Structure formats: C-alpha cells, structure tokens
Amino acid sequence: MNHKRLYVGDLASNVTEGVLRTLFDEVGGVEAINLMSNSSLNSFAFVEMESPEAAREAIKRYNGYDLSGSRLIVYAVPPKSRPREIAR
C-alpha cells in the first residue's frame, strides 16, 4: 500500500479535528484532516498522513481503537483519480 489518505469512521460526535490530529501525530505527521460531523450519527474523517509508512502504522495502531467510547474503523483510501482526457 502506497496510500497516505485514511478513512477514519465511527467517530463519536464529540471528537474534534484537534483530537484526531493529536492522536494521528503520534505515528507520523498529519498533512490534512477533513472531519465530517453529523450530530445524529457517528462522524467520520479523512486523514492525510505525511507518508505511506505513517499511514500503515496508523491503520495498525488505530483500527479498532477505542476513542471516546467508539471503536474506530481505519483503512487506506486510494488517491482521487483524475478524469482522463478523451483524445479527439
């Protein structure tokens, strides 16, 4: 896996970007966090790590990790693909 982008699901509604940054910084630098919060359901986030190695370590350490009473789901997300240009 050479992906740096992680999906982090089943976040409790009280988890903030700061909490995620502190947690994921423990395994490597965090480049970006996009937190999708929903007050009635568990939230999720996309966390961009600084390296594929840091992303792999984060998956090992935090998939199933109990954070604020919720067990996290953490897995790699392939980079967004760019639309292909159509030859004319």
**Tell me, what's the pLDDT at 78?**
86
**Domain CATH for 16:** 3.30.70.330
**Residues of the domain holding 18:** 5-77
> Would you say residue 82 lies in a domain?
no
> Would you say residue 57 lies in a domain?
yes
Mean pLDDT, rounded, for 1-24 = 92
pLDDT above 90 for 9:
yes
For residue 77, what are its two tokens? Answer: 């997300």
**The model's pTM:** 0.85
The dihedral built from the CA positions of residue 15, 17, 18 and 23, taken in this order, carries a sign that is positive
pLDDT digits (tens, 9 = 90+) for 19-55: 999 999 999 999 999 999 866 677 999 999 999 999 9
The tally of domains found in the chain comes to 1
